[in-house]
Structure 1
Amino acid sequence: MGLIKKIQEMKQEMTRWRQKLHQTPELAFEEKQTMRFLIRTLEDMDIETHGLAKTGVIGVLHGKNGPGGPAIMLRADMDGLPIEEKTGAVHSSRNPGVMHACGHDGHMAMLLGAAKYLSQTKNFEGTVYFVFQPAEEHIGGAQEMIKQGLFTKFPAEEIYGLHNYPGLPLGMMATGEGAMLAASDDFTITVRGKGGHASHAEAATDVLGAAADTVMQFKELAKKYIPEGEPAALSVCTFKTTGEAHNALPDAANFTGTIRTFDPVLHQKLVDEMVKIVDAIEAKYGVALDFDMKKGYPVLVNEKVATAFATEVAKDTVGDKSVMNPVPRTMGTEDFAYYLQHKPGNFMGIGTGSGKLGDKNYTDIHSAKYDFNDAALPIGASYWVNLVEKKLPLLTPPSAIDGTAPPPSAPKP
Structure 2
Amino acid sequence: MINELKQHNEMFTQWRKAIHQHPELGFEEQQTADFVANKLRQWGLDEVHTGIATTGVVGVLRGQSPNSRAIGLRADMDALALDEANDFSHASHIAGKMHACGHDGHTAILLASAWYLAQNRNFSGTVYFIFQPAEEGLGGAQAMIDDGLFERFKYDRIYALHNMPGIPQSHIWLKPGPLMASADRFDIAIEAKGGHAAMPQHLIDPSLVMSNIILSAQTIVSRNTSPLDTCVISFTDIHSGEGTYNVVPDSAQLKGCLRTFNPQVRQQALERLQQVVEQTAKLYGATANLTIQPGSYPATVNEQQSYEFAANIAEQLLGKERVNTHCDPLSGSEDFSFMLNKVAGCYLLLGNGLSGEKGGVCVHNPHYDFNDDIIPVGAALFCSLVTAELK
Q: 2:249 is aligned with what amino acid?
A: P
Bigger Rg, structure 1 or 2? 1
Q: 2:191 is aligned with what amino acid?
A: R
Q: 2:79 is aligned with what amino acid?
A: G
Could you tell me which residue of structure 1 aligns to residue 92 of structure 2? 93
Task: Find the residue that maps to 1:72 and give its secondary structure.
Answer: strand
Alignment of 1:135-150 (within 5 A): 135-150=134-149
Could you tell me which residue of structure 2 aligns to residue 253 of structure 1? 252
Could you tell me which residue of structure 1 aligns to residue 272 of structure 2? 273
Per-residue CA deviation, residues 66-97 of structure 1 (Å, 9 max, x unaligned), is: x6542111000111222222234332222222
Could you tell me which residue of structure 1 aligns to residue 108 of structure 2? 109
Q: 2: distance between equivalents of 1:121 and 1:240? A: 58
Q: CA deviation at 1:382?
A: 1.1
Per-residue CA deviation, residues 294-345 of structure 1 (Å, 9 max, x unaligned), is: 3622222212222111111111221121111132222122221221222121
Could you tell me which residue of structure 2 aligns to residue 402 of structure 1? none
Aligned partners of 2:79 and 2:103 also within 8 Å: yes
Q: 2: distance between equivalents of 1:355 and 1:291? A: 39
Task: Find the residue that maps to 2:124 and give its secondary structure.
Answer: coil
Q: 2: distance between equivalents of 1:279 and 1:124? A: 58
Alignment of 1:19-58 (within 5 A): 19-47=17-45, 48-51=47-50, 52-58=52-58
Residue 316 of structure 1 pairs with residue 296 of structure 2: no
Q: 1: distance between equivalents of 2:83 and 2:211? A: 29
CA change 1:156–1:227 in 2 (3 A) is closer
Alignment of 1:191-270 (within 5 A): 191-196=190-195, 198=197, 204-241=203-240, 243-270=242-269
Q: CA deviation at 1:134?
A: 1.0
Task: Find the residue that maps to 1:169 and give its secondary structure.
Answer: coil
Task: Find the residue that maps to 2:144 and give its secondary structure.
Answer: helix
Q: CA deviation at 1:132?
A: 0.4
Q: 1: distance between equivalents of 2:140 and 2:126? A: 23
Q: 1: distance between equivalents of 2:79 and 2:201? A: 47
Could you tell me which residue of structure 2 aligns to residue 306 of structure 1? 306
Aligned partners of 2:262 and 2:299 also within 8 Å: no
Task: Find the residue that maps to 2:243 and give its secondary structure.
Answer: coil
Q: 2:166 is aligned with what amino acid?
A: G
Per-residue CA deviation, residues 133-182 of structure 1 (Å, 9 max, x unaligned), is: 11112222111211221122112211111111112111210112222222
Q: 1: distance between equivalents of 2:364 and 2:195? A: 39
Q: 2: distance between equivalents of 1:242 and 1:28? A: 33
Q: 2: distance between equivalents of 1:140 and 1:242? A: 33
Could you tell me which residue of structure 1 aligns to residue 12 of structure 2? 14
Could you tell me which residue of structure 2 aligns to residue 286 of structure 1? 285
Q: 2: distance between equivalents of 1:114 and 1:283? A: 58
Q: CA deviation at 1:235?
A: 1.4
Per-residue CA deviation, residues 90-144 of structure 1 (Å, 9 max, x unaligned), is: 3222222222222111110001011111112222222111000111122221112
Q: Mean Cα displacement is larger for which, 288-297 or 302-311?
A: 288-297
Q: Mean Cα displacement is larger for which, 308-317 or 260-269?
A: 260-269
Q: 2:11 is aligned with what amino acid?
A: E
Task: Find the residue that maps to 2:15 and give its secondary structure.
Answer: helix
Q: 1: distance between equivalents of 2:252 and 2:198? A: 19
Could you tell me which residue of structure 2 aligns to residue 84 of structure 1? 83
Aligned residues: CA RMSD = 2.3
Q: 1:305 is aligned with what amino acid?
A: Q
Q: 2:149 is aligned with what amino acid?
A: L
Q: 1:174 is aligned with what amino acid?
A: W
Q: Mean Cα displacement is larger for which, 81-90 or 3-12?
A: 81-90
Q: 1:160 is aligned with what amino acid?
A: Y
Structure 1 unaligned runs (5+)? 394-413
Q: CA deviation at 1:208?
A: 1.9
Aligned partners of 1:231 and 1:329 also within 8 Å: no
Could you tell me which residue of structure 2 aligns to residue 396 of structure 1? none
Could you tell me which residue of structure 2 aligns to residue 70 of structure 1? 69
Q: CA deviation at 1:21?
A: 1.4
Q: 2: distance between equivalents of 1:56 and 1:271? A: 32
Q: CA deviation at 1:196?
A: 4.3
Q: 2:110 is aligned with what amino acid?
A: L
Could you tell me which residue of structure 1 aligns to residue 379 of structure 2? 381
Q: 2: distance between equivalents of 1:85 and 1:115? A: 29
Aligned partners of 2:187 and 2:254 also within 8 Å: yes
Q: 1: distance between equivalents of 2:194 and 2:21? A: 46
Q: 2: distance between equivalents of 1:285 and 1:46? A: 68
Task: Find the residue that maps to 2:387 and give its secondary structure.
Answer: helix
Q: 2: distance between equivalents of 1:27 and 1:202? A: 50
% same residue = 37
Q: CA deviation at 1:242?
A: 5.0
Alignment of 1:147-186 (within 5 A): 147-186=146-185
Per-residue CA deviation, residues 379-411 of structure 1 (Å, 9 max, x unaligned), is: 101111111122223xxxxxxxxxxxxxxxxxx
Aligned partners of 2:278 and 2:289 also within 8 Å: no
Q: 2: distance between equivalents of 1:354 and 1:268? A: 36
TM-score normalised by the chain length of structure 1: 0.87
Aligned partners of 1:79 and 1:134 also within 8 Å: yes
Q: 1: distance between equivalents of 2:193 and 2:145? A: 46
Aligned partners of 1:178 and 1:301 also within 8 Å: yes
Q: 2: distance between equivalents of 1:39 and 1:178? A: 33
Residue 121 of structure 1 pairs with residue 120 of structure 2: yes
Q: CA deviation at 1:363?
A: 2.7
